[in-house]
Amino acid sequence: MRVLGIETSCDETAASVVAIDGYAAPKILSNIVLSQIEEHAAFGGVVPEIAARAHVEALDGIIEAALADSGTALADIDAIAATAGPGLVGGLIVGLMTAKAIAAAANKPLIAINHLEGHALTARLTDGLDFPYLLLLVSGGHTQIVAVRGVGDYQRWATTIDDALGEAFDKTAKMLGLPYPGGPNVEKAAQAGNASRFAFPRPMKGSAQPDFSFSGLKTAVRQAASAIAPLSDQDVADICASFQAAVADALADRVSRALTRFRETFPGTKNPALVVAGGVAANRTIKIMLERLCAEIGFTFIAPPLKLCTDNAAMIAWAGVERLRAGMAHENGFDLVPRSRWPLDSISAPMVGSGRRGAKA
């Protein structure tokens, strides 16, 4: 079985072919990602109109390249899987309409994929993980803990009540005059910094409510920075290190609660696992904290290769494979419309004020 995946929900134009043959491990036959970072950098963030136009210009070529790289003719593809949400609606329209056109012209089934489901199922593509497991998604637009129980069967246990974690990194960088995207630059600056110089708040730490919050921390960073302005390089490094320490500490509290809850909810799980996804998973301080926490509580820690943690189309193709195998592709069709908001778990109430950027996942 071979599935072509298409991803255009934010600022990456991506296409991939994933194959599965019986019980053998799945194979990523091609995985092409074109980042638009340079187009958006001057604006300090993703500009939806620029993103949509860039997708239109690039997508055909990226799909052609993904097919060529995989050595697969369109006729030999079993289905087309495209991200239908959540994300920036302009990009979603480009991806979904292109997928519909290809599916109609080549007479192939079309599977609409929730971008978050792509992230959620990646560890089954990379590590053959069995259900259930726990997912920590930390990206520029989402900060969620999800119990992954099966294909299409997700329970969101926690989300952010304001900013996403990557967004907090990006905004901190902006305040300190560091370039976009902020996360990697904050991490780099923090290496030379003193993490205990500023006692930033640990949002939600100790709260019985499972969710995340980062806007208060952002405000504390702003106040600390303006109190000692103009900032020297050492000041910036110290703020970054202190910010990162606060984030890791707050995250550890939230995640350890979820690990305990997972044990209580799924007591029969032999090898419980925590999977991390999203761009913030690149952060070493956070990764080391998660590794330590999992070792303490008795979980296997799985961090798929960064290329598959950040936005890509292999995860979308793979979600298509999973849905086809599970006989769930029939839910989708040509009448599908893009959904800029599309919770993975339709039961959890939407969080008021959350995901204002809503673009990324």
For position 95 contacting ligand KG4 by CB under 6 A, the verdict is no
Which residues lie below 8 Å from residue 229, measured CB to CB, with a gap of 6+? Answer: none
Three-state secondary structure call for residue 234? helix
Supply the minimum distance, in Å, between the C-beta of residue 247 and ligand KG4.
8
How does 20-49 read in b/e, with b if 16+ C-beta sit within 10 Å? beeeeebebbbbbbbebeeebeeeebbbbe
Helix (H, G, I), strand (E, B) or coil at 90: helix
Alpha helices in the chain (DSSP H): 37-41, 48-70, 89-106, 115-127, 165-175, 182-190, 215-227, 233-265, 284-297, 306-309, 314-325
Q: How far is the CB of 7 from Zn ion (least distance, A)?
A: 8
Q: CA-CA distance, 297 to 271, in Å (whole number)?
A: 12
As measured in angstroms, the least distance from the Cβ of 110 to ligand KG4 is 23
Nearer to ligand KG4, 28 or 88 (CB): 88
Q: Which of 7, 162, 163, 170 binds ligand KG4 (CB under 6 A)?
A: 170
Q: Choose the contact partner of 198 out of Zn ion, ligand KG4, none; CB within 5 to 8 A by kind.
A: none
133-138/143-150 β-pairing: antiparallel
The token pair that represents 112 in the structure block: 């609409």
Per-residue contact flags (x/-) with ligand KG4 for residues 291 to 320, judged by CB under 6 A:
-------------------xx---------
Nearer to ligand KG4, 279 or 338 (CB): 279
Residue 54 has φ and ψ, to the nearest 5°, of: -65, -35
**Tokens coding 158:** 């926690």
Q: Which is nearer to ligand KG4, 133 or 169 (CB)?
A: 169
Site for ligand KG4 in 265-284 (CB under 6 A): 278-280, 282-283
Residue closer to Zn ion (CB basis): 54 or 116: 116
- The reply to whether 187 sits near ligand KG4 by the rule CB under 6 A is yes
Q: 33 vs 221, which CB is nearer to Zn ion?
A: 33
Please report how close the Cβ of residue 136 comes to ligand KG4 at its closest, in angstroms. Answer: 12
Report, in Å, the least distance between residue 284 CB and ligand KG4.
Answer: 7
- Pick the closer one to Zn ion by CB: 87 or 109: 87
Does the protein bind ligand KG4 through residue 98 (CB under 6 A)? no
Task: Compute the least distance from the CB of residue 77 to ligand KG4, in Å.
Answer: 26
Distance from chain centroid for Cα 76: 30
Among 166, 193, 304, 343, binds ligand KG4 (CB under 6 A): 166
Which residues are near Zn ion by CB under 5 A?
Answer: 139, 311, 361
Round to whole Å and give the CA distance between 184 and 171: 12
Stretch touching ligand KG4 by CB under 6 A, among 20-28, 126-134, 183-191, 259-267: 183-191
Which of 198/262 has CB closer to ligand KG4? Answer: 198
Interactions with ligand KG4, residue window 123-152 (CB under 6 A): 139-141
Residue position matching structure tokens 């961090």: 303
Residue corresponding to tokens 């409510």: 209
Considering the rule CB under 6 A, would residue 10 count as an interface residue with ligand KG4? yes
Tell me the pairing of strands 2-7 and 79-85.
parallel
Two tokens at 201? 């708040």
The answer to whether 332 touches 304, Cβ cutoff 8 Å, is no
Buried b (16+ CB within 10 A) or exposed e, 178-198: bebbbbebbbebbeebebebb
Stretch that binds ligand KG4, among 52-60, 70-78, 177-185, 314-322 (CB under 6 A): 177-185
Residue 108 binding: pick among ligand KG4, Zn ion, none (C-beta 5-8 Å cut-off by kind): none
Least Cβ distance, residue 9 to ligand KG4 (angstroms)? 8
Binding site for ligand KG4 (CB under 6 A): 10, 139-141, 166, 169-170, 181-184, 187, 278-280, 282-283, 310-311, 360-361
